[in-house]
Structure 1
Amino acid sequence: MTSPSEHGRSDGPDTTSTTFEDLGLGPELLRALEESGYRHPTPIQSQAIPVVLMGRDVLGCAQTGTGKTASFTLPMIEILAAGRAKARMPRSLILAPTRELAAQVADNFDKYGKYHPLKKALIIGGESMSDQVALLDRGVDVLIATPGRLLDMFERGRILLNDVKVLVIDEADRMLDMGFIPDVERIVGLLPKIRQTLFFSATMGPEIRRLADAFLMNPKEISVSQGGSTAATVVQAMAVVEEIDKRETLRHLIRIEEVKNAFIFCNRKRDVDVLYRSLKKHGFDVVQLHGDMVQSARGETLEKFKKGEVRLMVCSDVAARGIDISAVSHVFNFDVPIHAEDYIHRIGRTGRAGMAGHAFTIATPDDGKFVVAIEKLIGNAIPRIEVEGVPALELDMTARKGRGGRGADKGGRGERPARGEKRERKPRENAPQETLPEEAVAVDTAAEAPAPRPERSERPARAERPSRSRADNRQDNRADSRPDNRSREGRGREERGGRRRGRIDELGIGEMLHPDGVIGFGDHPPDFILAAVPLPTRSAARAGADEAAESED
């Protein structure tokens, strides 16, 4: 139940002769509905409510904004009216993909169940866990949760799920897109086998149907609209421009359109923040909403937007569902959604309750394949428009976007070469290109060529290290302390090199015959790798030094 006119306000025209009284709801629910101004149910509600009251599983498919939430909240309130909740053992469970959608479901229970003594708990991230645990300890009839926080509670031993009689999986296709299906499958495995399951989705793809077959038992399938249909009251348009011109195009559309309030959707969270700061810099009254914000900030942002304190909200797909604002005039897709179904949910934020709405999409040539998928899903082409001062382009149906959202010609990987074919390296654009004469190239090549490695028989014999007395060492130290023309740095290098060569000669290892600066040895490994002379151990070396000292004494 998303807006008054969707449920047939008493002061509006009746779209159907069916009333809520005909659906078998109790007097308390009818009183709450009448006080809210609702008399006539939507198609999904009129078909789903009687089946749920019968206790059957339901597989419901209807586009966003058709009142799917009320189609399970109203009969659940009627079913749970008889019974008593136990501590940490909820009687029913509703799984929602986002915090906003879960909060809206909770608001529905507060609005329509105010004459029933039912207790509910909202278990979502970003809120105090201790407060949520306190609610569970007192016992709840309805538990509304996101999958991640619910599993966290279960693993901490704060909740038991073996008394759940009714399970609701809301927006199942969004669960799939957000990667929550493994968590949902684990949660379902913790529930009793005998239960009533209500499965609702805006689209019904093969994967969603597979999950429905696994979770439901002999369900009643209810589909009131095509999975890829859009509201007829929404006027759609698309502008194809360069990536660098997208912000200017958006600002121009906002200025020329009579925008009362608008959602501006981006594909990535970081782009939400960048676009928000850009619009703020140009003087627009705007707020931002994405999944990385704390729940208190998200709630404050939504409240400002609902009250009309700001006109524009830059958001990710977290706001594509579960936000009930009936009078949104515009939706701007700053990025073309990667999943075609998300386009339907985004533009479904406008044109609700029979009101007129406008949806503008800003695409780049690299978005061609995404646009084709969207147009195939909705069954018609999106009209193209031109924006003043911005060159209009055509979509490229062969472009491949990389992970960062850029085309192959803008830094993406592009097409891979065929197997066995080497990728051609392109020179750097600003790198200086020098041409050397052939003689110089020949000289450099000869200079860099490694010297041939001598055969084992031609290798130099092991050098005898002359014995040195302590007096000779003292004399060498005095000579080293004398000033000379060599720099200290150069002398240090020579001394280190001399000690290294002496150690190599002592161990009987020949000189490394490979040029300096090579990365790998190739066909010229150093001699110490091929040497068969065993290296002396530390104890043997120490014993040899002691013997030399005794002989000198």
Structure 2
Amino acid sequence: MTKFSDLQLDPRVLTAIAEAGYETPTPIQAEAIPPALEGRDVLGIAQTGTGKTASFTLPMITRLANGRARARMPRSLVLAPTRELAAQVAENFDTYTKHLKLTKALLIGGVSFKEQDALIDRGVDVLIATPGRLLDHFERGKLLLTGVQIMVVDEADRMLDMGFIPDIERIFQLTPFTRQTLFFSATMAPEIERITNTFLSNPVRVEVARQATTSSTIEQKLITFTPSRKDRSFGEKRAMLRALIQDEGEACSNAIIFCNRKMDVDVVAKSLKAHGFNAAPIHGDLEQSQRMKTLDAFRDGELRFLVASDVAARGLDIPAVSHVFNFDVPSHAEDYVHRIGRTGRAGRQGKAFTIAVPADDKYLANIESLIKQPIPRGEAPAVEFDDSPDRGEHRQPRSRHSSRDRGPRRDQHRAEPPRTEAPRPEVEAEAPPPRREEPRREPRRDDRRDRRRDDGPSPAGMGDHVPDFILRSFARVAALETAEDVAE
């Protein structure tokens, strides 16, 4: 069996690995580290959680152990799709570089540009960034990428989902052609394959079997129910979630609750808090300081329930999670394995509950086809659903329906002719006699038209609507011309 000591890593790196408690590399580490140490391009295909962060950080540190960075010109670059993943990569570098004097900088949103500029100005060996913030620094003239020797693209499939592929292509073009490129992705979509063919030079392909089986340490249960009404589905799912948590009792020490949409993450977190549960949301629209604060509170045990979206929680290593609740059935089958893999880690026991409605049947079929087994069905807890209108997701559709109901009445009222009632007899008797109409004076416009005919010819192109001052000026000119003719 291969050990880290067999991989020709720097002795100081091996010491840090041993202090972190690792001896044996994972399959992707064992296959990717040797060609990376040789300076070859590597194309790694593996799921999150297979240890690929160390498969590029360890050879990078070994190759950068000798040398010195120049101001505003980092020696290596690591791109990650989310702030949390970038911060996690930075933590890995801190762990493995404790015995080396290598500098690093983390460029992510939500942090002051001034602080990040100060780090770049001093020179960094390792620059870890999200694509958007990296290009912001470059466009401000604070960063040069011409000194990059090693470039890493992590979670490329997630970057594709988040629309970062054009930014990655631009960043590649800003780096030297002679760089070493380490590219990691869970899937090989056509756009990603095109990038690898364009920017990687004869890469070593390292493919680890995709994680298609669930851990035996995770107890899975599928809870299905049919909502009483379509517009009450969201509220009844929240009630079902609360009932499942209450049935687990103290066994549910902490849990991650996954939703498919960011707006649902906020609503579910607020609903849990309103019912006395210690919960907080985490998704891509939150400020970075708030996201890190929420994650730290969950890791430290101060927060019991973390309501998350897939993008925000992707790849995060949070130990000792007792439960996972899929509030929504994931639309991608692979995400199911990824989600429930947040529990039952390192030999611990865990539980994963999935709440499903009839509309989720096609997604469940894809998941069970992937994991090659049916998800065990669980008994739904007894829940008394509230008949009051749902105050969550479906408020807007109901208001739309009500506005449509009100719309025709407004149109009908607008189309009706005004009602006229016959005058009452007593009103007719009391009405004053009609006034004699006096002959009206001719409008001034006609006066002007008459004067214009008397004073002289009409100005060409002016029409009937000619201001008085123009008429007077033309009349004056006509009078002068007449006087000159008379004089002649």
With structure 1 as the length reference, what TM-score do the two structures score?
Answer: 0.68
Alpha-carbon separation, structure 1, partners of 2:40 and 2:219:
39
Relative to structure 1, the CA distance from residue 215 to residue 254 in structure 2 (aligned partners, 3 Å threshold; closer, same or farther) is farther
Relative to structure 1, the CA distance from residue 359 to residue 202 in structure 2 (aligned partners, 3 Å threshold; closer, same or farther) is farther
Query: Counterpart of 1:322 in 2: which secondary structure?
Result: coil
Structure 1 window deviating more from structure 2 (91-100 vs 188-197): it is 188-197
Structure 1 window deviating more from structure 2 (269-278 vs 27-36): it is 269-278
1:33-52 mapped onto 2 (5 Å cutoff): 33-52=17-36
Query: Counterpart of 1:353 in 2: which secondary structure?
Result: coil
Structure 1 window deviating more from structure 2 (234-243 vs 170-179): it is 234-243
Asked if 1:77 is matched to 2:61, the reply is yes
Cα distance per residue 1:503-534 (max 9 Å; x no partner): 9999xxxxxxxxxxxxxxxxxxxxxxxxxxx9
Tell me the CA shift for residue 349 of structure 1. Answer: 1.6
Amino acid at match of 2:236: D
Tell me the CA shift for residue 290 of structure 1. Answer: 1.9
Query: Counterpart of 2:299 in 1: which secondary structure?
Result: helix
Aligned position for 1:106 = 90
Alpha-carbon separation, structure 2, partners of 1:28 and 1:196:
23
Aligned pair partner of 1:29 in 1, 9, 13: 13
Cα distance per residue 1:366-389 (max 9 Å; x no partner): 233333343444444333333122
Aligned pair partner of 1:252 in 229, 234, 243: 243
Aligned pair partner of 1:539 in 462, 467, 470: 467
Tell me the CA shift for residue 74 of structure 1. Answer: 0.7
1:402-417 mapped onto 2 (5 Å cutoff): none
Alpha-carbon separation, structure 1, partners of 2:176 and 2:369:
41
Tell me the CA shift for residue 294 of structure 1. Answer: 1.8
Q: Indicate conservation of the 8 Å contact 1:62/1:225, yes or no.
A: yes
Aligned position for 1:67 = 51
Tell me the CA shift for residue 347 of structure 1. Answer: 2.2
Task: Give 5+ residue unaligned stretches, structure 2.
Answer: 228-232, 386-391, 410-415, 418-430, 434-439, 448-461, 476-488
Relative to structure 1, the CA distance from residue 536 to residue 346 in structure 2 (aligned partners, 3 Å threshold; closer, same or farther) is farther
With structure 2 as the length reference, what TM-score do the two structures score?
Answer: 0.77
Asked if 1:213 is matched to 2:197, the reply is yes
Q: Indicate conservation of the 8 Å contact 1:33/1:112, yes or no.
A: yes
1:125-524 mapped onto 2 (5 Å cutoff): 125-226=109-210, 228-241=212-225, 242=227, 243=233, 244-257=235-248, 258-390=251-383
Q: Indicate conservation of the 8 Å contact 1:44/1:66, yes or no.
A: yes
Alpha-carbon separation, structure 2, partners of 1:67 and 1:146:
20
Count, aligned residues: 421
Relative to structure 1, the CA distance from residue 214 to residue 347 in structure 2 (aligned partners, 3 Å threshold; closer, same or farther) is farther
Relative to structure 1, the CA distance from residue 191 to residue 543 in structure 2 (aligned partners, 3 Å threshold; closer, same or farther) is same
Relative to structure 1, the CA distance from residue 195 to residue 282 in structure 2 (aligned partners, 3 Å threshold; closer, same or farther) is same
Tell me the CA shift for residue 277 of structure 1. Answer: 1.5
Q: Indicate conservation of the 8 Å contact 1:61/1:227, yes or no.
A: no
Q: Cα RMSD over matched residues?
A: 3.6
Alpha-carbon separation, structure 1, partners of 2:465 and 2:154:
72
Q: Indicate conservation of the 8 Å contact 1:62/1:226, yes or no.
A: yes
Q: Indicate conservation of the 8 Å contact 2:78/2:127, yes or no.
A: yes
Alpha-carbon separation, structure 1, partners of 2:182 and 2:393:
37
Relative to structure 1, the CA distance from residue 292 to residue 216 in structure 2 (aligned partners, 3 Å threshold; closer, same or farther) is same
Alpha-carbon separation, structure 2, partners of 1:379 and 1:40:
29
Amino acid at match of 1:263: I
Q: Indicate conservation of the 8 Å contact 2:243/2:383, yes or no.
A: no
Alpha-carbon separation, structure 2, partners of 1:248 and 1:274:
13
Query: Counterpart of 1:354 in 2: which secondary structure?
Result: coil
Amino acid at match of 2:464: P
Larger RCO, structures 1/2 (Cα 8 Å, 6+ apart): 2
Query: Counterpart of 1:221 in 2: which secondary structure?
Result: strand
Relative to structure 1, the CA distance from residue 383 to residue 535 in structure 2 (aligned partners, 3 Å threshold; closer, same or farther) is farther
Alpha-carbon separation, structure 2, partners of 1:294 and 1:132:
17
Query: Counterpart of 1:352 in 2: which secondary structure?
Result: coil
Amino acid at match of 1:63: Q
Alpha-carbon separation, structure 2, partners of 1:535 and 1:163:
75
Q: Indicate conservation of the 8 Å contact 2:220/2:353, yes or no.
A: yes
Aligned position for 1:528 = none
Tell me the CA shift for residue 428 of structure 1. Answer: 5.3
Amino acid at match of 1:217: S
Cα distance per residue 1:160-182 (max 9 Å; x no partner): 01111111111111111111111
Alpha-carbon separation, structure 1, partners of 2:371 and 2:445:
78
Q: Indicate conservation of the 8 Å contact 2:32/2:42, yes or no.
A: yes
Relative to structure 1, the CA distance from residue 335 to residue 405 in structure 2 (aligned partners, 3 Å threshold; closer, same or farther) is farther
Q: Indicate conservation of the 8 Å contact 1:336/1:363, yes or no.
A: yes
Q: Indicate conservation of the 8 Å contact 1:62/1:224, yes or no.
A: yes
Query: Counterpart of 1:331 in 2: which secondary structure?
Result: strand
Alpha-carbon separation, structure 1, partners of 2:122 and 2:53:
26
Amino acid at match of 2:58: L
Q: Indicate conservation of the 8 Å contact 1:291/1:318, yes or no.
A: yes
Alpha-carbon separation, structure 2, partners of 1:173 and 1:330:
27
Q: Indicate conservation of the 8 Å contact 1:204/1:227, yes or no.
A: no
Relative to structure 1, the CA distance from residue 224 to residue 95 in structure 2 (aligned partners, 3 Å threshold; closer, same or farther) is same
Tell me the CA shift for residue 357 of structure 1. Answer: 2.4
More helix by share: 2
Q: Indicate conservation of the 8 Å contact 1:287/1:310, yes or no.
A: yes
Q: Indicate conservation of the 8 Å contact 2:265/2:309, yes or no.
A: yes
Task: Give 5+ residue unaligned stretches, structure 1.
Answer: 1-16, 393-403, 414-426, 433-443, 446-483, 487-497, 507-533, 548-553
Aligned position for 1:551 = none
Relative to structure 1, the CA distance from residue 227 to residue 535 in structure 2 (aligned partners, 3 Å threshold; closer, same or farther) is farther
Amino acid at match of 1:116: L
Tell me the CA shift for residue 155 of structure 1. Answer: 0.3
Amino acid at match of 1:78: T
Query: Counterpart of 2:91 in 1: which secondary structure?
Result: helix
Query: Counterpart of 2:115 in 1: which secondary structure?
Result: helix
Q: Indicate conservation of the 8 Å contact 2:107/2:130, yes or no.
A: yes
